[in-house]
A and B are shown apart, each in its own frame.
Chain A
Amino acid sequence: MSDKELWPEGVQRCSLKLFIAWLAVVFAVLVWGVYAAYVVWSGGLIVTGMDNYFAFGLYIIFDLGVIALGAGAFFSGLLYYLVRVEGLKNIINLAVIIGFICYSGALLILTLEVGQPLRAWFGFWHPNVHSMLTEVIFCITCYMLVLTIEFIPIILENRKLNKIKFLHHMAHNFHVIMPLFAGVGAFLSFFHQGSLGGMYGVLFSRPYAFREGFFIWPWTFFLFILSAVASGPGFTMLVATLMEKMTGRKLVDFSVKALMGKISGTMLAIYLVFKYLDTWAWATGILPRSGLTFSEVFYGVAYGKWLLFSELVVFGLFPAVLLLYSKTRNTPWILYSACTMVGIGVIINRYVQTAQTLAHPIMPFDRWYVYVPTWAEWAPSLAVIAYGALILSLAYRYLPVFPQERKLNQA
């Protein structure tokens, strides 16, 4: 038994048996996550590590993390369709699929996160135009639609489906209008990446997160956008590399990867300039104005100063230098390590913005608490990763995701 007719033309895939065995592993994790979702919905959020002190927890940190890492989709799309960076043609499909996975995964987690999931649509029905979260709800949902529209032509290009005339034309027409969607997607994505940062920046009563405004936005709005576009392209490239390692086939040319690394490095460098300025302004302005010293907003290991140092230097400045310098960037293992570091740095940022902001006692007689996620939070998060693996596996096996694959594997 083989499903060879469904593979993209001229490529090699593992046996169906092996593929099914792999999917079984993926499904095992998925089922665990679905069970956790059932526990959360039926028992309430009490099964998580969140409490009255930690209104937000791993779900939000995970969502912010995947949404930042999924930014490769909008930024690569923007660079390819609108700025016409040709090299990106060879990885744009993957970027779109990863974006789709990250956003749909984040939305799935959000249904667990809110206390009243059946009322989630209230965000559209009774919107509060002043709330950054309203902006997030609107933009994420709309951008999810755009990503779906961008994903459809890739699905229609499956060898069997493409033989159907109607679908073939449809796919073609989708391609023609893609720059429009890339533009709309970039606009939406830009806004909600920003609003996610804005969500924290407007907490004027939480000095750890509060930032001054630039027009109507606190400047965390812009920092989130910049850090997301710095980590997104690198993450897309890392996924491609991981797929190469797992399948044993070459999927994208190294020059494309190095290009993604260069984009990441450049954006990271720009981000860091602002991030350093921001940290300085916060430590010397906002903190003393709130009656706090720099040391007071850090605590123990979970919220220690080491996090700030790691975020800004070890997983910030260091990979930025490695990615900007062409010699290190063009050494595969350094490129991969540097992009991994950028991703870690952004996740640390999302973690401290969420957990540390809430943990930091603002009333002088209050105390620090440490947030520890439970299995009911880890399981759905891992399940989203499994869900990503499932979509990527199916896409890799049956859809022409990598235009260079045939050429690179001719031997």
Chain B
Amino acid sequence: MVLYLKEFKIKWGMVIDLDRCTGCGACMVACQAENNIAPPVDASNKRYSMTWLLVYQLSNKQPYPNHDVAYMPRPCLQCGKPNCVPVCPVIATDKNQEGGIVSQVNARCIGCRYCMAACPYHARYFNWQDPVWPEGMEKTLTPDVSTRPRGVVEKCLFCHHRYMYARDKARIEGRDPNALNEGDYIPACVEMCPTGAMVFGDLQNPEHKVHKLSKSPYAFRLLERLNTKPQVYYYSKREWVRKQGDNYLEHETVGGV
């Protein structure tokens, strides 16, 4: 059984402020468009959807007037210790590059879906049908993102192609591609978020905002006790929201202040 934690000098990550997120779904749309996700032919069954980034609705389950909701965008959390990686029989997914983004090689994936069984966050999606773009729409495809055929698993990669751009740009400008400034590289969802709820950067770099935010007592990670060590943090001042970040037994208290 391989339960390893790989350490990287750079660790790209997000902090998503759930008190700011309005659940507008702009991030989802941005993700679909940026990553060449074909529009579904029939979207009536959500369990066949292809939503690398999904916005969940959380509720405190209290009756009015105490009722409160929160929205939780969930990309692939790029776990520090991903369960999806060691299970893949053909190394189609791996966590081996500086930055700590969990890769997904479509051309190698055999579609066994073992990684989907392993991911507790449902962050992986299977191509149940051939992707079809309505006529004319293929002109809007992002040229640097490959399209995926039926029968393989795919997931959010933190818009890895944008990382490549940023590195190339830094090289051309004579800067160190391993020391990007904050804002040189951000995924499409973060760029699109109208409320600024999503913050992106290097979790290891004290100069990046995410570094500080992730250390806040209001920051938490999904299912912390499973020990998958996600590189996506959530942030909320509401205790009940933090509480829904993990399964808590009755006698247990939630982190934060």
Which one of B91, B92, B112, B130 has the highest number of Cβ atoms from chain A below 10 Å of its Cβ? B112
Judging by beta carbons under 8 Å apart, are A128 and B86 in contact?
Answer: yes
**A184 to B1, alpha carbons, bound, how many Å?**
24
Judging by beta carbons under 8 Å apart, are A203 and B129 in contact?
Answer: no
Specify the chain A residue showing the minimal Cβ separation from B153: A115
Stretch of B19-27, B30-38, B243-251 at the chain-chain interface: B243-251
Tell yes or no: A46 within 8 A of B by CB.
Answer: yes
Judging by beta carbons under 8 Å apart, are A116 and B111 in contact?
Answer: yes
* Given A55-B116, A128-B89, A131-B87, residue A116 in contact with residue B152 (CB < 8 A): yes
- The 8 Å CB contact of B89, one of A134, A201, A358, is A134
Contact with A along B60-88 (1 / 0, CB 8 A): 00000000000010000000000100111
Specify the chain A residue showing the minimal Cβ separation from B224: A291
Judging by beta carbons under 8 Å apart, are B87 and A205 in contact?
Answer: no
Tell yes or no: B5 within 8 A of A by CB.
Answer: no
Specify the chain A residue showing the minimal Cβ separation from B248: A291
Specify the chain A residue showing the minimal Cβ separation from B125: A52
Closest Cβ of chain A to B24, distance in Å, is 19
Chain A residues with CB under 8 Å of B121's CB are 363
Chain B residues with CB under 8 Å of A369's CB are 47
Tell yes or no: B212 within 8 A of A by CB.
Answer: no
Tell yes or no: A330 within 8 A of B by CB.
Answer: no
Tell yes or no: B126 within 8 A of A by CB.
Answer: yes
Tell yes or no: A253 within 8 A of B by CB.
Answer: no
Chain A residues with CB under 8 Å of B247's CB are 290-292, 296, 362, 364
Chain A residues with CB under 8 Å of B227's CB are 204
Chain B residues with CB under 8 Å of A292's CB are 247, 249
Chain A residues with CB under 8 Å of B181's CB are none
Stretch of A1-9, A117-125, A344-352 at the chain-chain interface: A117-125
Subset of 28 A-B contacts with CB under 8 Å: A44-B128, A45-B126, A51-B48, A113-B112, A114-B110, A114-B112, A115-B111, A115-B113, A115-B151, A119-B90, A119-B108, A122-B108, A125-B90, A128-B88, A131-B88, A131-B114, A202-B87, A204-B1, A205-B228, A206-B117, A206-B120, A290-B247, A291-B249, A357-B117, A358-B117, A363-B223, A364-B245, A365-B56
| 8 nearest CB pairs, A to B | A115-B111, A115-B151, A291-B247, A51-B47, A55-B116, A55-B113, A205-B120, A133-B89
8 additional contacts (CB under 8 A) given A115-B112, A122-B110, A128-B91: A115-B111, A115-B113, A116-B110, A116-B111, A203-B83, A204-B1, A204-B227, A207-B226
B-to-A contact residues, CB < 8 Å? 1-3, 45, 47-49, 56-59, 72, 83, 86-92, 108-114, 116-122, 125-130, 149-153, 222-223, 225-228, 243-249, 252
